[in-house]
Amino acid sequence: MTTAVPTIGVLALQGDVREHARALEGAGARAVPVRRPEELERVDALVVPGGESTTMWRLARTFELLEPLRKRIEAGMPAYGSCAGMIMLADRVLDGVEGQETIGGIDMTVRRNAFGRQVDSFETSVPLEGMGDAPFHAVFIRAPWVESVGDGVQVIGRAEGGPNIGRIVAVRQGRLMATAFHPELTGDHRVHHYFADLVRRAMEEE
């Protein structure tokens, strides 16, 4: 594996930006905030953090970032979304607000707030394909789940416990990946290492 240090942006409009930045640094990447189109152009990849997907969408519109984000994704930029970020990277959203838009890129249908309200937050084990034998201790906060995926989408994780056991909660499609849970809130950086390695491979292919 190359030792290149990728510059990975964290979409810093709203949500748990600092936590993702720390996890990315722990995975050997350089993490920078992204709020403007010119900042987006300077990164090798992007993390779309948890938060509130409707707020994130509206702020992306306000900051004139939505279309640049879509263009970078379409051009092959690697991206990873957690919780609200999973919704933002989905091509289709159920139970969204009227007119809600996403960045898109992953051929999946995601149900917003599927696991319930804030008070229904929970933690459970999720085995993650390609990230070691030990299950990941996953934190779900007003989390979505994946209702369905297209043929090109790889399911890499399903909930082992909690409400709606067996639901799809982690996916990958090429250079894009998403989780319904918040790996940045744990001390386990395997998801961020996996994404950083994905970014390094993409850099080698350019």
With vertex at residue 50, the alpha carbon angle to CA 24 and CA 137, rounded to the nearest 5 degrees, is 70
Helices (H), 27-155: 37-40, 53-62, 66-74, 84-89
Q: How far apart are CA 102 and CA 92, in angstroms?
A: 8
Element holding 191 (H helix, E strand): helix 190-205
The helix/strand/coil state of 188 is: coil
Positions marked catalytic: 83, 182, 184
The DSSP call for residue 120 is G
